[in-house]
Amino acid sequence: MAQALELGARGLGQTWPNPSVGAVVVQNGPDGPVIVGEGRTQPGGRPHAEAMAFEDAGAAASGGTLYVTLEPCSHRTIRGGTPCVERTLLAGVRRVVSAMSDPNPQIAGLSHALLRMAGVEVVTGVLEDQAQRSHRGHVLRVTQGRPMVTFKVARTADGFAGGAGGARLAISCPESGEWVHRLRASHDAIMLGIGSVLADDPLLTVRLPGLEIRSPVRVVLDSSLRLPLDAKLVQGAATVPLWVIAAEDAPIAAEERLVAAGVEVMRVSRGADGHIDLLEALRLMATRGITRIFSEGGPTIGEQLALQGFADEVIVSTSPKPLGAEGIVAVRPGLAALLADPEIYAVTQAGQIGCDRFEVFTRIA
Ligand code: AOF
Ligand code: ZN
């Protein structure tokens, strides 16, 4: 199962609207169990992990065990083909070990039951915590209609994300830069506020040497459609999709200019604070198939995401260098209070990357 989880984790960010599942087929050889097939959900969500693993195993799957990180599917869809439960039976598998049931209401325990009825031994809940973490985006999308959100912020030793007035700071060391690209690549979309775009003019593509991957969709929350046409994000809209979420009252002329430049503009209501209604924006992204969102800022969005209960993971990286002056506070007080509350966030990872220290907080309530 650990191997299956490893396989599945490699596809995070690439398989939306589907979860990234890993599957391993094991057969008893003369010297003990051997892996005869492996697979993971393919980019875009199909073929499913089991289909890949059975194809890899061929006839060797018969009589063997399937380890899979999510309950196999049994539903039929137009784009589907043979459901994985049927494939499992056709392959002659005798035992299925699954990490967790699939909360997708079309499946939700039905597949495990179908397999048992067909005489297959089914074991569930193996390494479930890890599987739940890996499939959190899918689980939230099918149970709550919103994607999972990871918020990351980098700060100086004295706690600032930017200089006074929002001036951009070079905070992190080079090793952290590569890590951020990996984090981006493991999410379906990167979301940021118009303030960060106007201040930094970022490109937000994923550059990982030796890795051929689909770059996450870029999403800008821009209630009044202030995004300039010469922003790098807009210039790159032909190669990597750019979605702009605006308020209903934003000028139509601005929308038309952006659309002509290849940007997709969507509209939602304004929240009580006058900004984009975050829940509506997240729901909209979920309807478009997004399961995992990476937000790199800024501090205000991070605080709002956390206060409204949507910051499922928060990553704080701290450099050893202080700014030594007044700046933009990276972890705003509302977020800081929640992170410090052990009933709301648990520290699930901590360590050092290059010169930077980092902590990963996972929302538990
Ligand atoms: C599996 N194996 O590798 C994945 C599964 O749109 P479809 O027809 O591909 O079905 C999507 C649903 O199937 C998705 O919402 C989730 O419940 C499950 N994903 N199932 O057996 C896989 N990725
Ligand atoms: Zn399937």
* pLDDT tens, residue order, the chain (365 aa): 999 999 999 999 999 999 999 999 999 988 999 999 999 999 999 999 999 999 999 999 999 999 999 999 998 876 668 999 999 999 999 999 999 999 999 999 999 999 999 999 999 999 999 999 999 999 999 999 999 999 999 999 999 998 887 777 788 888 888 888 899 999 999 999 998 899 889 888 887 777 677 889 999 999 999 999 999 999 999 889 999 999 999 999 999 999 999 999 999 999 888 899 999 999 999 999 999 999 987 899 999 999 999 999 999 999 999 998 899 999 999 999 999 999 999 999 999 999 999 999 999 98
Residue 80: predicted pLDDT: 64
Residue 48 makes CB contacts below 8 A (sequence gap 6+) with: 18, 21, 41, 72, 73, 84
- The answer to whether residues 313 and 174 belong to one domain is yes
- The answer to whether residues 89 and 155 belong to one domain is no
- The answer to whether residues 108 and 161 belong to one domain is no
Report the alpha-carbon distance of residue 70 to residue 110 in Å, rounded.
13
* Residue 295, strand partner residues: 151, 191
Q: Which of 10, 15, 18 to mutate to test ligand 1, by most ligand atoms within 8 A of the CB atom?
A: 18
Q: Which of 21, 40, 48 to mutate to test ligand 1, by most ligand atoms within 8 A of the CB atom?
A: 48
Decide: pTM greater than 0.90.
Answer: yes
- Domain holding 32, by residue range, is 2-135
Helices (H), 221-357: 232-235, 252-260, 278-287, 299-307, 333-339
- The answer to whether residues 355 and 239 belong to one domain is yes
- Assign 208 to helix, strand or coil: coil
Question: Which residue, 106, 135, 164, sits at the end of a domain?
Answer: 135
Residue 168: predicted pLDDT: 75
- The answer to whether residues 324 and 302 belong to one domain is yes
Helices (H), the chain: 2-10, 49-57, 84-90, 110-117, 128-134, 136-144, 174-185, 194-200, 232-235, 252-260, 278-287, 299-307, 333-339
- The answer to whether residues 71 and 118 belong to one domain is yes
Among protein residues, the one with the nearest Cα to ligand 1's atom 18 is 73
Closest CA to 42 of 78, 8, 76: 8
Residue 286: predicted pLDDT: 98
Contacts 24+ apart (CB under 8 A), 266-274: 270/223, 273/304, 274/223
Residues in the chain: 365
Residue 282 makes CB contacts below 8 A (sequence gap 6+) with: 146, 147, 149, 293, 310
Report the alpha-carbon distance of residue 10 to residue 43 in Å, rounded.
11
Residue 317: predicted pLDDT: 95
Looking at ligand 1, which atom is closest to the CA of residue 79? 8
- Assign 155 to helix, strand or coil: strand
Is residue 50 among the annotated active site residues?
yes
Interface predicted TM-score of the whole assembly (ipTM), two decimals: 0.94
For residues 37 and 57, the answer to whether their CB atoms sit within 8 Å is yes
Number of domains in the chain: 2
- Assign 356 to helix, strand or coil: strand
CATH number at residue 6: 3.40.140.10
* Catalytic position from the list 38, 50, 71, 296: 50
CATH number at residue 241: 3.40.430.10
Residue 171: predicted pLDDT: 82
